Amino acid sequence: QKEVEQDPGPLSVPEGAIVSLNCTYSNSAFQYFMWYRQYSRKGPELLMYTYSSGNKEDGRFTAQVDKSSKYISLFIRDSQPSDSATYLCAMSVVKAAGNKLTFGGGTRVLVKP
Amino acid sequence: DTAVSQTPKYLVTQMGNDKSIKCEQNLGHDTMYWYKQDSKKFLKIMFSYNNKELIINETVPNRFSPKSPDKAHLNLHINSLELGDSAVYFCASSQQGADYGYTFGSGTRLTVV
């Protein structure tokens, strides 16, 4: 079993819908949680960064962390075709130099016009 | 002005050859990484350097040898290439103590035939 599990999708939604993504993890030592977006043939780019449990909002994006359930979520409101990409969750134990990120396998999202 | 740049973008080579991938970052970060992304999109760390010092060395074949001539550059040399080495290799950088995760390059797609 992998340390971080993520449904590979694809997740297909109509434009304007809410996209709901999630990851589960097994390592209770994880403290830093991130969501990356990766377009085809590109490198991952950081969307959201949260520390410990709670919610964080940035524009159309909301990240939630529930450490008691070892579950993190990303919500995208008013989805656009340009949101079509693979979304990767990532997490780490500490913030020190050489901080190793453990990634989920990514969920492919398709927003249809 | 590209923050993390990798060369080459594409590399097709025969089994048994030796090849190198180069990475440069102009963000002033002190830590650099090599990640491998397989066909199922899983990103796994290979190596990390902090100020030219190797600090993470995951279980990878010793045919893979990283080298960091200075903190802005991290290269990856691969000897005796095998079919299973085919993947996308991403370079990334981060700053110790910073809250914004990694910045990834756009990847080098390696195909071994």
What was the pLDDT predicted at A1? 73
Q: How confident is the model at residue A93 (pLDDT cuts 50, 70, 90)?
A: confident
What was the pLDDT predicted at A100? 83
Q: pLDDT below 70 — which residues of chain B?
A: 1, 97-100
B43 interface with A at CB cutoff 8 Å? yes
- The mean pLDDT of A44-65, rounded to a whole number, is 92
Amino acid at B88: V
Closest Cα partner for B27 from B85, B91, B93?
A: B93
Please provide the average confidence, as pLDDT, over all residues in chain B. 92
- Decide: A55 and A74 in contact? Cβ < 8 Å: no
What was the pLDDT predicted at B98? 67
Task: Pull the structure tokens for residue A9.
Answer: 């999708």
Strand order in the sheet with B64-70: B4-7, B19-25, B73-78, B64-70
* Domains of chain A with bracketed CATH: 4-92 (2.60.40.10)
Phi, psi of A98 (to 5 degrees): 70, 30
What was the pLDDT predicted at B22? 97
Q: Which CATH architecture has domain B4-98+106-112?
A: Sandwich (2.60)
Please tell me which of the candidates A36, A99, A105 has its beta carbon nearest to residue B94. Answer: A99
**Spans of all domains in chain B:** 4-98+106-112
What was the pLDDT predicted at A96? 61
Query: Percentage of residues in chain A with pLDDT exceeding 90?
Result: 77
Q: How confident is the model at residue A43 (pLDDT cuts 50, 70, 90)?
A: very high
Phi, psi of B83 (to 5 degrees): -55, -40
CA distances to A53, A63, A71 from A66, in Å: 5, 10, 5
Higher local confidence (pLDDT), A20 or A95: A20
Please tell me which of the candidates B40, B56, B106 has its beta carbon nearest to residue A43. Answer: B106
What was the pLDDT predicted at B95? 85
Please tell me the distance from the alpha carbon of residue B96 to that of residue B77, in angstroms, as a whole number: 26
Instruction: For tokens 């398709």, name the residue.
Output: A110
CA atoms within 13 A on the CB side of B60: 21
Contacts of B43 in chain A (CB under 8 A): 44, 88, 90, 101, 103
